[in-house]
Amino acid sequence: MWNMVNQQISDALHTSFEFTHKALLASPSAEKLYRISNDKHTFLVKVDRLTALERFESEASALELMTRDSDFLICDPITIGTSLDFSFIVLEWLDTSDNMDNWHECGALLAKMHQRHEQKMFGLEQDNYIQQVLQPNQWHKKWETFFAEDRIGWQLQLLAEKGIMLVNIDEFVATIKTLLPHHITPSLIHGQLSHNNIAFSHGKPCLFNPACYYGDSEVDLAMAELCSALPNEFYQGYYAFQNKLSDDNRRKEIYQLYPILLKANLFAGSYLHQAKQHIHDILK
């Protein structure tokens, strides 16, 4: 496989490349991460099963979209390929080891990205992936329909196909539609914003692992706050350019249910109990 990686990087760079150093990095998912380099170039390589090729292609598209429509530092996809047994994506290596955090600018850049209302519908022109799970992105005119059906309903249906029924899906989806705002302007959102997907390179905010689509900007903040709130400086930067969110806690609960259901689908266990409790709280 690594000969193929060297060859495809060489083709992409239009110059010969052969790595002299390779290091296996810690990975929060099933895919393996490697840092490869020679005396001129350094790259991040993600390696997974052959079936991951479509996911890597959608990741490259999301990175290109974020590069085009945001001012964050986004790693460039260099090449995507397969060997007999694996698929891989090679990404630009961003050096985030200097610890020069700038959370205020990070919040400001996210607010500016959310304010670019260039799309009139909700969704995306192609499906993509959030972690290893397919994320459908059919275009919808109504935000409440898109999120209720293509986000909450989709995850509940995946669980039902495993024999896990947390709630009557049709009834719950209909309820979600009544609880979500009906006058949202589509914003480009990261899709799985969290502490783990934010870093800084020489003080410049970077975003990783986007699962982009056009939706309610509040989704990004709700998902980011699910495990732990971002630093206060982030919110100061964000609200310097964006109006403060409403105090509708149920809306946040609905947006946070999506990643909880995702984890329930991926890992089951305690996440199933957490999802069931979250559904109960929303219905109260």
Q: Are 139 and 106 in contact (CB under 8 A)?
A: no
- Ranges of beta strands (E only) in the chain are 21-25, 32-37, 42-49, 77-82, 86-92, 128-130, 133-135, 187-189, 198-201, 204-207, 213-215
Q: 229: which 2 tokens?
A: 């709130």
Mean pLDDT in residue range 7-19: 96
Q: Are 70 and 198 in contact (CB under 8 A)?
A: no
Question: Taking 80 as the threshold, does the pLDDT of residue 247 lie above it?
Answer: no
Q: Are 166 and 156 in contact (CB under 8 A)?
A: yes
**Mean pLDDT score of the chain:** 94
Q: Are 254 and 155 in contact (CB under 8 A)?
A: no
Task: Assign 75 a pLDDT band (cuts: 50, 70, 90).
Answer: very high
Q: 177: which 2 tokens?
A: 């539609």
Task: Assign 272 a pLDDT band (cuts: 50, 70, 90).
Answer: very high
> What pLDDT is attached to residue 243?
79
Q: Is 239 exposed, middle or buried (0-12, 13-18, 19+ CB in 10 A)?
A: middle
Q: Are 31 and 48 in contact (CB under 8 A)?
A: yes
